[in-house]
Amino acid sequence: MPGRQNVELSSKICHQLHDAVSRTGATNSIPMVDTDEISNLLVVLEANWQAEMEDHATYKALASAETDSRRRNVLRGLAAAERHHARLWADEIATLAGPKLVYAGAPNGRAAATSGTTSGIDTILRQLRIHERSEIERYSKQEGTLKTDASQKVLLEVIADENEHYKTLSNLIRARPPLPAMDHSQARTALAALLAARRQRHPEAAGWLNDAIYAAHDGLGSIFGIVSGVAGATFGKSHYVLIAGLAGMVGSALSTGTGAYLTARSERELYEAEIARERRAVDYDESESREVLALSLQVRGLPEDVAERLSHLLAENKEGFVKALARTRANVSEESLSDPWTAALTGFTATAIGAFVPIIPFFFMSGVSAIASAGIVSLSAHFAVGASRSLMIVRPWWRSGLELTAFGAVEGIITFSIGLALGQLVGTR
């Protein structure tokens, strides 16, 4: 049975480790650990070994494909360093009587996709530079996991080497002579590949998700206020709350969807108008437009000589020159534009979902119990929406969730109080 075999293996490892400690007297270098800790430690160490072996295979394959002798020697040095790291982790695994190590990655590591061309190798080098930064972060998080003195020593050595590898890769990329010019589609493909590699290591929220979260918050907040006010005025009579809540939900969703559509279309029209203005300006006086672009680049921080050269280079392609002028002068770019129908659908759907939450309890109950349930459900939804904002910001999810929950609670108390007061006032007439 696999489970029993794992327990017996872990117990054997524990006994061997404790016997070694007893013989050497090195009670301070290897702490007493239980079976689960050793098993978890071996998992981490084997993952480290696999990662270093994959990097070794990658650099070795790149060195074989590289035609420049200097760069080839640098890549061979990186491959040897990664192989050394793998041996260090293998020694730690052997100390713990771990399993036999078998490399499970591709023979060429991450270089499997390269065609052997200069552009292919350089693309992978840029991806590896991102990977090395991710490895530094991953190893840094292991400082509290690897508790033995030997493992800590290996960890510090590997982190220091990975930092040097990041610098080495940066120098390799900068030292490469300029590549042949790429057309627009080739540049877009290369950019997509680099961004995909970055997102794999550092996931990012989709652009529409940000709009959806804020639309859901708008719907939730506005209808929660309506529901609280009407519930306060009618003491939670469900039919009044449902009529007001559903009407508000439909109105709010339509308003948000329409507004998102018009905003996205307006941004696209403004972009097209700005492009047309810049194109007319270039046709009228190209030298003046070059000077405008050069000065705009200087304002953004580029040295004067670099800004001048870049302005002249961009002017060689009229369409690219026009887009560069629009981007630097008006901060508009085609990449930042949203599709109007996608924006409308996202805004409508997210708002409707958020707005529907506060009225759910009134389908099943009435009175005080419905009011209390609506408050609990709505505040829980506020917390969930606030926590989801952490996908776009660096604030902890719980802090963002609590902040939005607090705002929702204040909103609910105020609108309920106003509704209660108005209900009593109308009732006295």
Is residue 157 left, alpha or beta, with left meaning phi > 0 and alpha meaning psi from -120 to 50? alpha
Per-residue model confidence (pLDDT) at position 195: 62
CA separation for the pair 29, 114 (Å, rounded)? 45
Instruction: Say if residue 389 is in the same domain as residue 256.
Output: yes
Domain count, the chain: 2
Collapsed DSSP state (helix, strand, coil) of residue 107: coil
Asked if the structure places residue 18 within a domain, the reply is no
Token duo for residue 30: 């290897």
Per-residue model confidence (pLDDT) at position 335: 75
- Amino acid found at 368: V
Q: Which residues contact 158 (CB under 8 A, 6 or more apart)?
A: 48, 52, 85, 88, 139
Residue 375's domain comprises: 203-426
Given a contact cutoff of 8 angstroms between Cβ atoms, the answer to whether 74 and 172 are in contact is: yes
Per-residue model confidence (pLDDT) at position 347: 92
Helix axes 69-95, 149-175, angle to 10 degrees: 170
Instruction: Say if residue 122 is in the same domain as residue 228.
Output: no
Given a contact cutoff of 8 angstroms between Cβ atoms, the answer to whether 359 and 246 are in contact is: yes
Asked if the structure places residue 267 within a domain, the reply is yes
Higher pLDDT, 191 or 384: 384
Instruction: Say if residue 129 is in the same domain as residue 213.
Output: no
Instruction: Say if residue 110 is in the same domain as residue 223.
Output: no
- Scanning the structure block, which residue is given the tokens 């023979």? 107
Whether pLDDT at 410 is above 50: yes
Q: Which long-range contacts (CB under 8 A, 24 or more apart) does 205-212 make?
A: 205/391, 205/392, 207/338, 208/338, 208/342, 208/343, 208/346, 209/391, 209/392, 210/392, 211/260, 211/338, 211/343, 211/346, 211/347, 211/350, 212/346, 212/347, 212/349, 212/350
Higher pLDDT, 195 or 320: 320
Instruction: Say if residue 88 is in the same domain as residue 222.
Output: no
Give 34's pLDDT tier (boundaries 50, 70, 90).
low
Instruction: Say if residue 225 is in the same domain as residue 113.
Output: no
Burial 115-144 (b: 16+ CB within 10 A, else e): eeebeebbbbbbbbbbbbbbbbeebeebee
Residue 192's CB: how many other CB atoms inside 10 A? Answer: 10
**Global confidence as pTM:** 0.53
- Amino acid found at 178: P
Asked if the structure places residue 416 within a domain, the reply is yes
pLDDT, tens digit, 9 for 90 and up, residues 114-156: 444 555 677 788 788 888 888 888 888 888 778 778 888 888 8
Minimal CA–CA distance to 276: which of 233, 236, 330?
A: 330
Report the share of the chain in percent with pLDDT over 90: 29
Higher pLDDT, 52 or 34: 52
How far is C-alpha 100 from the chain's CA centre?
36
Instruction: Say if residue 73 is in the same domain as residue 215.
Output: no
pLDDT, tens digit, 9 for 90 and up, residues 1-25: 443 444 344 444 444 444 444 444 4
Instruction: Say if residue 272 is in the same domain as residue 416.
Output: yes
Instruction: Say if residue 94 is in the same domain as residue 210.
Output: no
Q: Which residues contact 114 (CB under 8 A, 6 or more apart)?
A: 61, 62, 65, 108, 120, 121, 123, 124
